[in-house]
Structure 1
Amino acid sequence: MSENTSLIPRANQYGRPSFFEKVSIFFKLLLLPIVLVWTFVFKWSGRTRKRSVCDGRIRYVVTKFNIRQLQYLFGTTRGNYTTWCKQAKQEPQIESIGGDANLLWIGERRPEKVILYLHGGGFLLPPGVTNIAFFAHVVTKLRERGINASVAMLEYTLVPVAAFPTQLKQAVAAINHLMSLGVDPQDIQLAGDSAGANLILQVLAHLLHPLEYENVPPLSLPSPLKGACLISPWVDLSDIHGTLSSGNSTDMLTAGIIRDWGSQVLGPVPREYLGYIEANSAKDDWWKGVDAFADRVLVTAGREECLNNEIIRFKSVFETFHSHVNMQEHSGIHNDPFYAWELGESGGGAPDMIVDWLQAGFQEAAV
């Protein structure tokens, strides 16, 4: 494998910073404690000191390092899943679904009622251990309420190793695989944060407008999916309407970072297919008929995140074609429910609200 990798340009490899980029990582991390002390002393308005330090740490890292450096620091989806398994004292449960993709089961593998988790990270970065632990918490809470659900996280290929529509192909393969195990779509709820929520929208767009580009496989559902949970969905990758800077002073992701990451994802995408990967650039009637493919949709957004205005814009268009859209705008930042849960904060009630919403969907399916 090392011989093959050496033939691939560094720009197309995952997490391969140059020697000088590694040296840069070392020196910039030396400054991080100073940044965190400053953040602790002069905390962000409206946040606890603990939360200010958490948000400040993430903001410093994502704004100071390039993608190769971030991938090097953040590891891989499989590696972070394995780390969580060790912490949770669970044996890794990895299920190949073809196409270089796998399902990584969080908690007990019970293909009866399934939350298919599509992680975020701008299609460039893996899920954090906190994100994985959050969905383990969701499973625990649901089982306390008498619902035996499982979470399967899709391990999809990241940019720059593979570009659109590879991730869509792998998401379609995941749903087809679950149905092949006998899971009815009425017992499947999709959940995704940021780019993962974007990927859910790609799936719904593919159901509405079957995409033959690059041989994306068909997806035929015998019944609608029970739900689609969109946490801070990445609906604008290029700052179409110039609104992203509204959260520059408060969010962990700046408008510049969102645009930079978006350019790396959108770069190879033909213009005629932008609607699949950038929801807010789609034509006005793009989502007509979407209610036939998902019974319920939850959309969350933080008032302090750069994407807030664009998520609200998306919701106002989407709900024109779907009568069961629940919009929860909470007092937080991008992907706030994960950090609020990690620190034991309410996050405007968002963490518990997500559990409640998933519970209601599975209870509806059981009726």
Structure 2
Amino acid sequence: MKINPALKQYFTESILKASFKYPSRFNLSPSTMRFSIEQLSRIFPQRKDVHIRNLRIAGVRAEEIKPQAHSTQMILHIHGGAFFVGSLNTHRAFLSEVAARTQMQVLHLDYPLAPENPFPEAGDAIYDVYQQLLDQGVLPKDIIISGDSCGANLALALVLRIKEENKQQLPSGLILMSPFLDLTLTGESMRYNQKHDALLSMEALEIGIEHYVPKHLDRSLAPLSPIFGDFEGLPPTLVQIGSKEILLSDAQRFEEKAKAAHVKVIYKLYTGMWHNFQMFSPWFDEAKRSLADIAEFAHHLDRD
């Protein structure tokens, strides 16, 4: 029996609000929140037509997700989770979809989480992974850096750091999904989409920031809030955001600033979608379209 799309979305949003968004408003322990999101992620079906291999790079646990024996491009993905939740388990099913749709190798990192590992430990670990990939002979032109939510923050911060230290090492492209780029929380959508986002709450972001950012640091510093960084010279970038996301303003501001810096940016807005909607591609057309847009962007970079 085919379910009415509007009804399906209503029930999905209701379940997400009850099972994750509302509980995340309370200052639950990181271990409790990690367990909760791990259980929620079990609803996502994993592709069977990809091969997954465990490995360790620069001391960081990772998974290599490959749809075929030989892939010309690598997507280096940094998962979200407000800096203190998320894991290989929570994003495996989604990234198996990305690998299958793009027919590219996806390298998924299990970077160190806060509060056990506050800033700058996650960023330093991810930077070390990138440098080791280059040392192993992977060419920058064959790497696309990708991230969702706070992972998009870490992805953009990584590219800004590479740009400052050695522009020759810049990746071929950057993918920012539902990006959380401003830790000062000044985006207008934080207010007007607060009730509409089915997954993410302001309280969850504030808790994540408290875990991640040492109290003596200014949250507007570019390594923490890369929306305030220098975008000149960034590689081509795909930005994806749902119209109901509380982080909508972060994506809009990125597009405006990137275009002003003459960055090739593709901005995609998906109507009626909530935070990290891409992970729901098995059930929603807009999420399916987001994966098709990722594949199109990645293939265009590969042809170039």
In the alignment, what sits opposite 1:97?
57
User: Residue in 1 aligned with 2:148?
Assistant: 193
Name which of 192, 195, 212 aligns with 1:249. Answer: 195
Shift of 1:105: 0.9
Q: 1:355 to 1:328 in 2, by over 3 A?
A: same
Measured in 1, the distance between the counterparts of 2:182 and 2:7 equals: 27
Structure 1 residue identity aligned to 2:34: Q
Is contact 2:162-2:170 (8 Å) kept? no
Which of the pair has more CA radius of gyration? 1
User: Is residue 303–residue 329 contact of structure 1 (8 Å, CA) maintained in 2?
Assistant: yes
Aligned to 2:262, the other structure's residue is in SS state coil
Q: CA RMSD in A?
A: 3.2
Give the C-alpha shift of residue 91 in structure 1.
7.3
Q: Which has the higher contact order (CA 8 A, sep 6+)?
A: 2
Q: Alpha-carbon deviations, 1:246-272, whole Å to 9, x = none?
A: 111111212232223223222346328
1:253 aligned counterpart, secondary structure: coil
- The one-letter amino acid paired with 2:230 is W
| Equivalent residue, structure 1, for 2:161 | 206
Shift of 1:303: 1.1
Q: Is the 8 A contact 2:187 2:247 kept in 1?
A: no
Post-superposition CA distance 1:104-129 (Å, at most 9, x none):
11236757421101101011011474
2:230 paired residue among 281, 287, 292: 287
The unaligned stretches of length 5 or more in structure 1 are: 1-42, 144-148, 211-219
Counterpart residue number, 2:242 = 302
CA gap 1:346/1:66 in 2 versus in 1, 3 angstroms: same
Partner of 1:323: 263
Q: Check conservation: 2:102, 2:299, Cα contact below 8 A.
A: yes
Please state whether the residue corresponding to 2:222 is helix, strand or coil.
Answer: helix
Q: CA deviation at 1:324?
A: 0.5
Could you tell me how far 1:199 is from its partner in structure 2? 0.5
| Among 92, 95, 98, the residue aligned to 1:135 | 95
Normalized against structure 2, the TM-score is what? 0.83
Counterpart of 1:250 in structure 2: which amino acid?
Answer: H
1:266 aligns with 2:218: no
Q: Which residue type is aligned with residue 264 of structure 2?
A: H
Distance 1:48 1:248, change over 3 A: same
Question: Displacement, 1:46?
Answer: 7.8
Share of identical aligned residues, percent?
19
Is 1:70 equivalent to 2:33 in the alignment?
yes
Closer/same/farther in 2, CA of residues 320 and 53 from structure 1, 3 Å limit: same
Q: Note the alpha carbon deviations across 1:84-137, whole angstroms, 9 max, x for none.
A: 98x849875222223x41231123675742110110101101147463222212
Alignment partner of 2:13 out of 52, 56, 59: 52
Structure 1 residue aligned with 2:81 = 121
Q: 1:182 aligns with which of 121, 137, 153?
A: 137
Amino acid at match of 1:52: E
Where 2:241 maps in the other structure, the secondary structure is strand
Amino acid at match of 2:86: P
Contact 1:208 1:289 in 2 (8 A): no
The alpha-carbon distance between structure 1 residues 203 and 256, as it changes in their structure 2 partners (threshold 3 A), is same
Task: Name the CA distance, whole Å, in 1 between partners of 2:275 and 2:53.
Answer: 29
Instruction: Give the structure with the larger helix fraction.
Output: 1
What is the distance in 2 between the residues matched to 1:241 and 1:359? Answer: 32
Counterpart of 2:108 in structure 1: which amino acid?
Answer: M
Note if contact 2:189-2:245 (Cα within 8 Å) is conserved in structure 1: no
Aligned to 2:171: 225
Query: 1:336 — aligned with what?
Result: 277
Q: Sort the Cα spacing of 1:300 and 1:139 in 2 relative to 1 into closer, same or farther, 3 A.
A: same
Inter-partner Cα distance in structure 2 for 1:314 and 1:90:
33
Closer/same/farther in 2, CA of residues 65 and 137 from structure 1, 3 Å limit: same
Is the 8 Å Cα contact of residues 44 and 52 (structure 1) preserved in structure 2? no
Distance 1:84 1:125, change over 3 A: farther
Q: 1:354 to 1:54 in 2, by over 3 A?
A: farther
Q: How far off is 1:310 after superposition?
A: 2.7
Q: 1:320 to 1:135 in 2, by over 3 A?
A: same
Alpha-carbon distance in 2 for matches of 1:328, 1:51: 22
In the TM superposition, residue 312 of structure 1 has moved relative to its aligned partner by 0.7
Q: Tell me how far 1:190 sits from its aligned partner.
A: 0.9
